[in-house]
Structure 1
Amino acid sequence: MVLKDKFNRLYRLHTNKFATILDRARCEGGNFHATWCWSRDISGRLVGDLTTLTNLLSSFVPCSSGKEEWSWSWSKDGSFSVHKLTDILVRSSPDIATVSIKSLRNKLVPLKVELFIWRTRHKRLPTRVELDKRGMDLGTVRCPVCDNGLESVEHSIILCTFAFDIWNRVYDWWKLGPFTNLGINESFLGNGYNFTSDLGKLLWQATEWVTGYMIWKSRNAFTFTKIKPTCAMVFKDIQLKCFEWFSNRIKGTNIEWDVWLANPRGYDSLALSSRRFGIG
């Protein structure tokens, strides 16, 4: 709470706009004392404002160190932590309550991809359905790519025929069989397959995330340029981005381009902990 905003009329009348609470008010022996410097007498509605301000400050206890500091009530020591905030948000969100915090992070991809995954799973992507919910009149909420359904988050990333074809290509590339119609949450967890190493699990989950990210990026390009990319083009971009990002982030081993294109799941056969590669 900022006092100058809550008591704006009084603030405008005070002659010292830079005075602190300790400059003007103190509590001694249970008695509250305040010294104000008004440009004119306080009257009318200002009397009520001053009474409210006085009652508010009468319980003010200055910091013993003489320096005012913020205190975060969610931690025992009052210090703020991004990790603690993430933990609270994840545990308080009904749709991801059963998902561990670790599963929402993957060090093989850039931060922008992680943010995209968070926005996708929380339906924060600006699809036509979501924009319509927020009162934006778009004329139509149908998918601009396939026109076979409403452009929801799930339709954009998975159900659209354009996206579905790309997912099938990625599954075939990883030799995982045909793509099944999974939901948003299930599609980005990297679970359900018999990987033998931590590295294999991380590689596959990261590939899923990059696939969703590239599908969304290509849809945006079509929306603004009206140039529709082919599924083959997007699939090639996925393979290239995965190779570029993963090879730059895995330490201690090399991902070879030809091997990556032919059989990325082959790296799972190494059966070594991801910590061995500096990403755990």
Structure 2
Amino acid sequence: MNWNWRVYPSSDVEIHELIGLQRRFENIRLNDNEDSWLWNGEVDKEFSVCEVQKWIKGDVARDTHGCYKWCKWVPNKCNVFMWRAQMDRIPTKMAIRRRNIMVGDNLCALCGISDENSNHLFLACSVSSGVWLVKDVERIVESMGESDLKKEIIYGILIVICWRIWKARNEKVFASVIPNVVQLISDIKSLGYLWYRNRNKKGTAVISYLEIPSVLCFNEVRL
């Protein structure tokens, strides 16, 4: 395969990416046949809306690894944010740098200690660790010996926490607002209560986080 470069790759990262790209194309052979869309790995079926409907309604085995679990009682903006965060698609400094956009240093906007990526911002940052202690949102929720109602509430609260931490990060970057852990926790409790109370038809519930070790540092949240 011949390459027509306007600027030939020169940095170590660019060369490494070029080598990886060449390896991907090693076993690909181009021909003069017309391209066509194939559906669900079946070579004898072309893509159609009808086939999609059959797939959704049927018992076809589907790979759900990495699929985001939507929470019904939190706003769409929180669900969309968490979905993007799960795929590392939120504009952290390291994510922006990967797109060749220079934004100064790569240090976390909240703590200024380590490079800012999704894992650090929500798990390792000193400000975030003052709010909670969690490694895997969905895994923790599913491993709890609680009712489905409590799991749904806790899962939503974890999403609200991530969203509020991200909002605090943006307030620091764009408005120079110094983050306050006590205020963050207060906001999370208030938002969680209001959103669950007004967006869920199952009424109210009381959850004591003392029953869930090593998840959150909240003493008690009433919803």
TM-score (norm 2): 0.64
Encode CA deviations 1:29-56: one digit per residue, 9 max, x unaligned: xxxxxxxxxxxxxxxxxxxxxxxxxxx9
Aligned position for 1:98: 65
SS at match of 2:91: coil
User: In the superposition, relative to structure 1, how do residues 212 and 188 fare at CA in structure 2: closer, same or farther (>3 Å)?
Assistant: farther
From the superposition, tell whether residues 245 and 137 of structure 1 become closer, same or farther in structure 2 (CA, over 3 Å).
same
Structure 1, unpaired ranges of 5+: 1-55, 57-71, 85-89, 92-96, 168-178, 267-280
Cα distance, 1:155–1:252 mapped onto 2, change above 3 Å? closer
In structure 2, how many angstroms separate the alpha carbons of the residues matched to 1:106 and 1:221?
Answer: 25
1:116 aligned onto 2:81: yes
Could you say what the CA RMSD is over the residues aligned between the two structures, in angstroms? 3.0
What is the rounded CA distance, in whole Å, between the counterparts of 1:222 and 1:106 in structure 2? Answer: 27
Please tell me whether the aligned partners of residues 127 and 181 of structure 2 are also in contact (alpha carbons under 8 angstroms): yes
After superposition, the Cα gap between the structure-2 partners of 1:73 and 1:120, relative to the gap in structure 1 and judged at 3 Å, is farther
Report the Cα distance in structure 2 between the residues aligned to 1:79 and 1:198, rounded to whole angstroms: 30
Match of 1:198 in 2: 148
Change beyond 3 A, Cα 1:230–1:198: same
1:129 aligned to which of 94, 101, 105: 94
Rounded to whole Å, the distance in 2 between the matches of 1:217 and 1:118 is 16
User: Judging changes above 3 Å, is the alpha-carbon distance between structure 1 residues 139 and 246 closer, same or farther for their aligned structure 2 residues?
Assistant: same
> How many Å separate the matches in 2 of 1:235 and 1:145?
15
Q: Alpha carbons of 1:77 and 1:252: their partners in 2 closer, same or farther (altered >3 Å)? A: closer
| Aligned mates of 1:244, 1:265 — CA distance in 2 | 22
In the aligned structure 2, how far is the partner of 1:246 from the partner of 1:265? 21
Q: Which has the higher helix share?
A: 1
Alignment length, in residue pairs? 163
Secondary structure of 2:130's aligned partner: helix
Matched residue, 1:234: 184
User: Could you tell me the percent identity over the aligned residues?
Assistant: 23
Quick one: which amino acid aligns to residue 199 of structure 1?
L
In structure 2, give the amino acid aligned to 1:228.
I
Distance 1:80 1:254 in 2: 37
Deviation at 1:251, TM superposition (A): 1.6
Question: Does the 8 Å CA contact 1:129/1:150 hold for their aligned counterparts?
Answer: yes
Query: 5+ residue gaps in structure 2?
Result: 1-33, 35-44, 57-61, 212-223
Distance 1:76 1:239 in 2: 43
In structure 1, how many angstroms separate the alpha carbons of the residues matched to 2:149 and 2:123?
25
Residue 160 of structure 1: aligned partner: 125
Preserved CA contact (<8 Å) 2:110 2:179: no
Structure 1 residue matching 2:201: 3-state secondary structure = coil
SS of 2:50 mapped into structure 1 = coil
Residue type of the partner of 1:161?
A: S
2:50 to 52, 68, 77: 77
Contact residue 107 and residue 115 of structure 2 kept, 8 A: yes
Q: Aligned letter for 1:77?
A: C
* Alpha-carbon shift at residue 192 of structure 1 (Å): 2.4
Q: Per-residue displacement from partner, 1:175-198 (whole Å, max 9, x unpaired)?
A: xxxx25x1xxx2245232221x11
- In the TM superposition, residue 79 of structure 1 has moved relative to its aligned partner by 6.5
Paired residue type of 1:164: S
Match of 2:172 in 1: 222
Cα separation, partners in 2 of 1:206 and 1:139, compared to 1, 3 Å: same
2:103 counterpart of 1:138: yes
